[in-house]
Structure 1
Amino acid sequence: MRIKKGNLQKVTFSIVGFGGRANAYLTALEENYQDRFELIAVAEPDKRKQQRIKQKYGLKDENIFDTDVEFCKQERLSDVVMITTQDRLHYQEVIQLLDKGYDIILEKPIAATLQEVLSLKEISKKYPNQLVAVCHVLRYSPLFMKVKEIIDSGVLGKIITIQHNENIGYYHFVHSYVRGPWRNDQESAPLILAKSCHDLDILLYLTGKHALKIASFGSLSEFNHKNYDEKRMAPTCIDCKMEKECPFSAIKIYSSNKIKSVVFDMSSIDKIRENLGNSNYGRCVYQCDNNVVDHQSTIIEFEDGITATFNISAFTRKINRSFKIMCQYGEIRARERPYLIEVYNFKTETEEKFEIVQPQGGHGGSDRSFIAHFMNAYLGNETFKSTLDDSIEAHVMAFLAEESRINHGIPQDICDKMK
């Protein structure tokens, strides 16, 4: 989508939901567009965050709101609004803020149900001159952009099949998907949507083909009540005699500095213990109200006979992605952290390696690249490549993968939903 905003010298922003994602995008704006953007308003229930934002950006009191509902009642306050709230709030927020005239940066997922996603696709057609930029940031990753360049060069021929792994990391999984906000699909969304819709999007991006069918298997095998031993364990980590030997101990995880997002005061072990005793983050991983899967394997058929497997797992040491693309005349192996691409050519029987310089910022530099692309499209004439329309198919794939998983792997037809 090409957007024409005239000769804007500065883009004004509002933020609805000031969490880690909003902070990542705002940091990217500060570092690269300090004189080209201004933060005007924020909707955020956390009073401490409100004060920090007010002091740092000089926001007026009347432009600080406790809820998204209050913000959405106001007349348009800025050029762009970032929606970085919980998944189930996105649908109504997008509808109301499009109607107010905003251009939108929308954190994934677009919405929490398939019906809502397809509905937003139709609703957005009423606003052809407004942009909904979906944060499918992996398209802007230096690693994936280089892999796409190699594929498109044609040197390895056409893609035959792909193996793609999202390694969530055991400590990150228990933080976000067992104890944290994305633990229950009734409050957020299924794991493959909330965590991985942009991985499905990257498969579409790399192949350049539409998906036809999808089948999926997975379950919540470890972090469930069946694995709780009431004789040896306790409902909270601070009271558990097994805590020191448990790899999922909240005390161990939060005192190790593995979790960078600040959900409470982690300045000392005493503060950590105090906060763990009063929050979900201190609960035993076998006593939470989580229901999202902890591992899932998905098989996808694309146009031209291309196939792919996509695996998500909580049970990994590292938090990264690793994948192999098998082509007619060679293969590409790549991984994050460290960022490395290995290309083997069957014809020449030679291997070439590309070491991607450690990118700054979240998602391997993708967050910064996404913001740069957005600003270049908004202020200039670049074509934006992750609009609402561009992002629908990956969401449909995620919902149908979950439908297949629930129904014991019965294949689902993607084409029917995309008509």
Structure 2
Amino acid sequence: MTIKDTPAKITNIGSMKAPSSLVTPIAEANKDVSNSTNSTKGTATNGIKIRNEDEPNNSTKTESSPRFVIIGAGARGYAYATTIHKLTNGLVSAVAEPLKFSRENLGKKFIWQDKEPQKGQSFLGWREYLDYEIARRKRVAEGEDNVPPGADGAFVCVQDAMHEAVVIGLAPLNLHIMCEKPLSTTLQSCLKMYRALKPTMVTNVFSIGHVLRYTQHNMLLRKLIVEDKAIGNISSVVHTEPVGWWHFTHSFVRGNWRNEQTSGPSLLTKSCHDIDFLLWMLCSPEKAGEGESHIPSTVSSQGGLNFFKKSRKPSGAGDATNCMKCALGDSGCKYSAKNLYIGPHRYSLEGGNLSMPVNIVVHDIEDYKTMDEKKAAMTRALEADWDKATPREEVAARQWYGRCVFEADNNVNDEQFVTISFPETNRPAKQVTFHMVAQTKKICERFTHYYGDEGEIYADGYKITVENFATGEKTEHDPKYVAGGHGSGDQGLTVQFVAACDAVKNKGWAAEQAQNNYIGCTLDEALRSHAMVFAAEEARKEQKIVHWPQWWSENVGDDSQ
């Protein structure tokens, strides 16, 4: 009997659980993953140190708890603040946000509760915070009594194009910094940030919002592939990011990330953490800061804006540029803003939803008491439109959620492929293909095929299936599923970052030790994954194959690979 004729033996390891409440700490959730794979207790499946049951409750707050300022109180800032508050020993001590509703919403929830904010807790923006902190430190240096404590770290969650100014502005304060992805919108901007941050790494830790590294699923997946070599040496990988038909229109046609000139290409703003994830799996050393990376040889890319453009507009829509005035607004177009935000779409007001995407369009939607009031507020927001006479700067400065998706000022790709090749050097040769696609039923539920010389792995964010060529055995791993942003990656990243800050502040750890053991990603790795995105975009636009070592030398130079 040949191997292929041998009936597959299926082994199931672990169980998938989806708690209704917020994710438990990554340390706790990881116990189930560790138990299912016989890994060492207290060590995460990607080599990152995690807390275990023998350590103190990591949500207990004390006077020495690490303190954090949230710079940018939008959806991302609020998500990180929630995890700091609920799942770590850290304290949200201040918020800097120009939008009053968002600033007060976060502050009342996590900082001053039902009281008025004290001095040093609420700021209209990051510059106001910076001025305050410089003055506060001067008061401390002069020996003034009763000076309130400052922050130990900052979560930078402002718009992408602002990251450079904020991070470089904060660098002299020597704070621990977690910057939302992407690092910045151009390679030169990323390099400026790298050079500003590098000297601070002697005493501080840094994290980038590459949350895919920190899900229970992906940590186990990396252990199986990199540490256990469950399918031998990798030959090739095919990874798909299905953005989702309505999610893409919300964020990348009507929303903040629709135009490359004001934000960046979609490969950067949507998929830079996918590129980072693939490099983490295939390029990075087994443990951060130890060993050699497997440096790629080439990168190529194809893609473009294929669907969300005027040539694809339904004829029935006529000359309408706004869904609220379109003949297809009530029926006939699934992208209708009326359908998506008012109803009957499942994530609309009528669908009972008051969170994303509804509260992105109307930030204070929960303050309206009745459904009629909510619909009226939403209607007003969706009716906003622009025409040919509107200054281009005014169009670019805001979001137009009622705009026809075929008449918007979007220009970012809705379809893209990236292929990265690795030569036979310190590891065997391999290739990876990444596919970002907008028109999907799945909403950001990534799936990946790994092909090795001893077997295959299929992973979909919920289950990991390993098949062995020689034995025909199939093993299914069900990592503990944890509800939360990016499959618990938002929570995992936050918990690990706070733990790293705590280790430096309260346990005498060197910053490099905390960086490698808790965060598991170096500043150099963060730069490399962003550089790969820019190299891929150059390859796509110029229709060429980029030779990575040469490109790195010419564009990055002496900065570390």
Calculate the TM-score normalised by the size of structure 2. Answer: 0.70
Equivalent residue number for residue 72 of structure 1: 130
> Are 1:102 and 2:102 an aligned pair?
no
Q: Deviations over 1:275-299 (max 9, x none)?
A: 2113611110011111111010111
- Given the superposition, is the C-alpha separation of residues 136 and 231 from structure 1 closer, same or farther in structure 2, using an over 3 Å criterion? closer
Equivalent residue number for residue 9 of structure 1: 64
**What are the within-5 Å matches in structure 2 for residues 16-415 of structure 1?**
16-33=71-88, 36-56=89-109, 57-58=111-112, 59-60=117-118, 63-75=121-133, 77-127=150-200, 128-151=202-225, 152-208=227-283, 209-228=294-313, 232-233=317-318, 234-243=320-329, 244-254=331-341, 255=343, 256-258=345-347, 260-261=355-356, 262-263=359-360, 264=362, 265=365, 268-278=374-384, 280-304=400-424, 305-319=429-443, 320-336=445-461, 339-380=462-503, 381=509, 382=514, 383=517, 384-408=519-543, 410-415=544-549
Q: Deviations over 1:61-81 (max 9, x none)?
A: 554222333333332541111
The alignment partner of 2:476 has SS state of strand
Kept in 1, the 8 Å contact 2:422–2:430? The answer is yes
Distance 2:494 2:249 in 1: 29
Task: Structure 1: state its 5+ residue gaps.
Answer: none
Q: How many residues align?
A: 410
The alignment partner of 2:487 has SS state of coil
**What's the CA shift for 1:46?**
1.2
Out of 88-97 and 299-308, give the one that drifted further: 299-308
**What's the CA shift for 1:205?**
1.3
Q: Deviations over 1:360-407 (max 9, x none)?
A: 211101111111211222223542312422211110110111111111
How high is the sequence identity, in percent, across the aligned residues? 31
Distance 2:192 2:108 in 1: 39
Kept in 1, the 8 Å contact 2:235–2:430? The answer is yes
Kept in 2, the 8 Å contact 1:217–1:405? The answer is yes
The alignment partner of 2:274 has SS state of helix
**What's the CA shift for 1:206?**
1.1
Distance 2:103 2:65 in 1: 23
Distance 2:195 2:375 in 1: 51
The alignment partner of 1:245 has SS state of coil
Distance 1:386 1:329 in 2: 28
The alignment partner of 1:181 has SS state of coil
Distance 2:346 2:97 in 1: 26
The alignment partner of 1:311 has SS state of strand
Kept in 2, the 8 Å contact 1:165–1:312? The answer is yes
Which residue identity does 2:455 align to in structure 1? Answer: G
Out of 204-213 and 254-263, give the one that drifted further: 254-263
Kept in 2, the 8 Å contact 1:15–1:42? The answer is yes
Task: Structure 2: state its 5+ residue gaps.
Answer: 1-47, 50-61, 135-149, 284-293, 349-354, 385-398, 504-508
Q: CA RMSD in A?
A: 2.1
Kept in 1, the 8 Å contact 2:68–2:94? The answer is yes
Distance 1:330 1:164 in 2: 17
- Given the superposition, is the C-alpha separation of residues 258 and 308 from structure 1 closer, same or farther in structure 2, using an over 3 Å criterion? same
Distance 1:357 1:312 in 2: 26
Kept in 2, the 8 Å contact 1:24–1:361? The answer is no
- For the pair shown, which has the larger CA radius of gyration, 1 or 2? 2
Kept in 2, the 8 Å contact 1:171–1:258? The answer is no
Kept in 1, the 8 Å contact 2:421–2:431? The answer is yes
**What's the CA shift for 1:123?**
2.3
Which residue identity does 2:431 align to in structure 1? Answer: T
- Given the superposition, is the C-alpha separation of residues 164 and 328 from structure 1 closer, same or farther in structure 2, using an over 3 Å criterion? same
Kept in 2, the 8 Å contact 1:25–1:368? The answer is yes
**What's the CA shift for 1:163?**
0.1
Equivalent residue number for residue 20 of structure 2: none
Distance 1:257 1:85 in 2: 29
Which residue identity does 2:521 align to in structure 1? Answer: S
Which residue identity does 1:136 align to in structure 2? Answer: H
The alignment partner of 1:280 has SS state of coil
Which residue identity does 2:164 align to in structure 1? Answer: Y
Which residue identity does 1:290 align to in structure 2? Answer: N
The alignment partner of 1:287 has SS state of coil
Kept in 2, the 8 Å contact 1:251–1:272? The answer is no
**What's the CA shift for 1:242?**
1.5
Distance 2:63 2:205 in 1: 16
Distance 2:131 2:535 in 1: 35
Kept in 2, the 8 Å contact 1:164–1:321? The answer is yes
Q: Deviations over 1:94-132 (max 9, x none)?
A: 111011222111111111111111222222222221222
Calculate the TM-score normalised by the size of structure 1. Answer: 0.92
Distance 1:126 1:106 in 2: 17
**What's the CA shift for 1:8?**
7.9
- Given the superposition, is the C-alpha separation of residues 104 and 235 from structure 1 closer, same or farther in structure 2, using an over 3 Å criterion? same
